[in-house]
Copies of this chain bind each other. A is one copy, B any other.
Amino acid sequence: MKNNIRVERAILQISQAELAEKVQVTRQTINAIELGKYAPSAVLAMKIAKVFGKAVEEVFQLEEND
């Protein structure tokens, strides 16, 4: 699972900590997901996409191994 979180954050100019606060998870969770260490839950993915004003598919992309 790939994602554009870093780019979307840059557009909004918000830190990992700020995004974390907006979607009510810890900063470490955002960091791990942004770095692709694991994939989020659907609820979290939808909340993140919502913050960016994008569809889930615009922020997260399935890969072959998914």
Contact = CB atoms under 8 A, between A and B. Distances in A.
Contacts of A46: 56-57, 60, 62, 66
A62 B50 contact: yes
A39 B40 CA distance: 11
Interface of A is mostly: helix
A55 interface: yes
Nearest to A48: B42
Nearest to A56: B56
A45 interface: yes
A66 B49 CA distance: 14
Contacts of A55: 55-57
Contacts of A56: 42, 45-46, 49, 55-57
